[in-house]
Amino acid sequence: KYWAGKTHDYTILKEELSPLLNWFKNLDVYLDLGYLGFAKDYCCKSIFMPSKSKKSSPLTEDQRHFNRQLSSQRVGIEHSIGGMKRYRIISDRIRAHNLDNHDSAMEACAGLWNFYLST
């Protein structure tokens, strides 16, 4: 399902994967700061989320190192999403009424990007 760009990521997650079910019970979950409040609503094995600095208390060196480790793992995922958006059918508006076309477009872009990476 496609969502409007103004919809928050955490709102989409709660709509798609209800907090009432144990979706993440035995999983390690890696999140960004767009999912604040996840630990309150979902139960999981462990959560890895970057630390946020405040004016009154800047990050310690350990917190900065941990944030760098998380971002280095996430950069590959972000590059893959950006690579799929290069085909523009994902980032542009699709004016088709058949929702199966949306899924097919996403699958085609993912397949093309994986093929590009394998060559």
The whole-number pLDDT of residue 101 equals 75
Please identify which residue in the block is written with the tokens 């477009």: 105
Residue 21 placed within a domain: yes
Residue 3 belongs to a domain: no
pLDDT bracket for residue 64 (50, 70, 90): very high
Local confidence band at 99 (pLDDT 50, 70, 90 cut-offs): low
Q: Has residue 4 been placed in a domain?
A: no
Under 8 Å CB-to-CB from 79, ≥6 apart: which residues? none
HSE-CB at 90 with a 13 A cutoff on CA atoms is 19
With respect to residue 17, please indicate whether it lies within any of the assigned structural domains.
yes
Residue 2 lies in a domain: no
Characterize 8-25 residue by residue with b for buried, 16 or more Cβ atoms within 10 angstroms of its Cβ, and e for exposed: eeeeebeeeeeeeeeebe
Residue 39 or 95, more confident: 39
- 92 pLDDT above the threshold of 90: no
Number of Cβ within 10 Å of residue 33's Cβ equals: 9
In a domain, 87, yes or no: yes
Please state, in angstroms and rounded to a whole number, the distance separating the CA atoms of residues 102 and 49.
Answer: 31
Q: What is the mean pLDDT of residues 104-113?
A: 88
The number of distinct structural domains making up the chain is 1
pLDDT tens profile 1-18: 666 677 888 888 888 888
Q: Is residue 20 part of a domain?
A: yes
* Owning domain of residue 20: 9-118
Percent of the chain topping pLDDT 90: 18
